[in-house]
A and B are shown apart, each in its own frame.
Chain A
Amino acid sequence: MTRLWSPASCRRQHLEIASARGPAVPAVSRARRRPLWICLALLLVLASGAAAQAPDSEPSAAKSLADQEPITPIPPPPAAEPQKLALGERLFGDHRLSADGKLACSSCHDLRTNGASGGQAVAHDGSKSPFDTLTVFNAALNFRLNWEGNFWDLGAHMESSLENPVNMRTSVDEVLRKLNADPQMVQQFRAAYGRAPDRTSFLDALATFERSLLTPGSRFDRWLGGDASALSPQELGGYQLFKSLGCSSCHQGVNVGGNLFERQGVFRPLVPGKPEIVRVPSLRNVATTAPYFHDGSAPTLEEAVRKMAAAQLDRTLTDQQVDSLVAFLKTLTGTYRGVAVVGASQ
């Protein structure tokens, strides 16, 4: 029969042992003493285990802060095979991904600056795209892609971008034909995927690279990590205001947004026309991604903050409040490959 260990059973055994003690039965006594020693050893192990866990159980400042706030720090980029990553990076800057060979992904998503461009993407005929170009930095952390949030999957989104009649005007098949005609590219694909370029490997290489485009290390993330000196009192005040006004109802999570849909222009008109419901954009690196809103109608962060407060929260902000909020938003600028994200040069 299996006997479960418990402090009560231990004590009972101890009493049994104590009553059985006597000079007449020394061998039995020794045998019965064994469970006592086992109990004591178990208690010792448990006590030492509890003692060892004690420092962990005490919540460190960093852990408790990150656990209590609606925003969480950006994690390091996911592990990826270097060959696939290098291939994805090469494809990202490859002009063969557009019909006329003039545009690459990097043409509109400049990784040297903010992962976007300075406004709407320019079409092949010189006209402008109806939507402001979103940054590719941290895009993989969004629950849906694009302003309208009409894509779940990075691969499907890339395929659609290639087929966009406004700029790339090509197709995956056409790109694959070009890539397969390049022996060096075929060799790189074989090294990374063990086969010549095909739809799956092509989209996977690009997606692998896109997932690596994270910008950790912002001052706000350092503050979340426990570095109290990372934010100035004004920035911290801005963050408190950000929460108390209700901005964090939508702009929360690891990407400070990007994880829900929301109607735009709830109390006052914000951006005329469609879409009325947009995927809430991320506020990561927001200080570097002017202009703002999906039509790029707000040239500065101050104006965007003021308009958002009025349209979405029915609040009229004072200049001081705007300055405070902008000061906080500037702390969300992270680093890419150790270099701070900066605004587009345009």
Chain B
Amino acid sequence: MRVTPGVAIVPILVLLLTWLSLRAIDPGAELFDIAVGELDRFSTLENALYRDVFTARAGTLRNYDPLVREINALHDSLARLRETAAIDSETTALSISL
């Protein structure tokens, strides 16, 4: 009869660990990674734009196409960040309501 407490602990532990695992699942983690990646990309583009503006100021930029490309890319990046923020706010609202 000494085995009984041990046997009883096993399912409790399993249940506890399962509950902890479920609690540890973060559905927003992927979204967070995407957003951080996009922020990095935005930062890189911004730096490239600054570099090319200074190059133009120095008179060594051959044409303005790089500036156009970088500005367009910044707009695209901003749109993607806004989309991510919109999804994130939906997720947050959902989790609050739950």
Contacts and interface: CB of A to CB of B under 8 A. Distances in A.
B17 interface: no
Interface string B61-87: 011110110001000000000000000
A259 B62 contact: no
Interface string A48-80: 000000000000000000011111100000000
A68 B62 contact: yes
Contacts of B68: 143, 253, 259
A70 to B, nearest CB: 5
A342 interface: no
Contacts of A260: 64
A179 interface: no
Interface residue tally on B, bucketed by range: under 10
A67 B63 CA distance: 11
Interface string B22-36: 000000000000000
A215 interface: no
How extensive is the interface on chain A, given as a class?
10 to 19
Contacts of A67: 62
A305 interface: no
A208 interface: no
Interface string B8-46: 000000000000000000000000000000000000000
A254 B64 CA distance: 9
Nearest to A280: B64
A252 interface: yes
A132 to B, nearest CB: 24
A254 B67 CA distance: 13
Interface in A241-255: 252-254
A121 to B, nearest CB: 27
A72 B63 CA distance: 9
Most buried by A among B63, B64, B72: B63
A67 B68 CA distance: 18
Contacts of B64: 252-253, 259-260
Contacts of B62: 67-70, 252
A71 B62 CA distance: 8
Contacts of A69: 62
B42 to A, nearest CB: 19
Contacts of B63: 70-72, 252-254, 259
Contacts of A254: 63, 65
Nearest to B68: A143
A71 B63 CA distance: 7
A269 B68 CA distance: 29
A68 B64 CA distance: 14
Contacts of A68: 62
A143 B63 CA distance: 13
Given A252-B63, A253-B65, A259-B68, 13 more contacts: A67-B62, A68-B62, A69-B62, A70-B63, A71-B63, A143-B72, A252-B62, A253-B64, A253-B68, A254-B63, A254-B65, A259-B63, A259-B67
Cβ-closest 9 pairs across A and B: A252-B63, A253-B63, A253-B65, A143-B68, A259-B64, A70-B63, A70-B62, A259-B68, A260-B64
Interface of A: 67-72, 143, 252-254, 259-260
Interface of B: 62-65, 67-68, 72
14 contacts: A67-B62, A68-B62, A70-B63, A72-B63, A143-B68, A143-B72, A252-B63, A252-B64, A252-B65, A253-B63, A254-B63, A254-B65, A259-B65, A260-B64
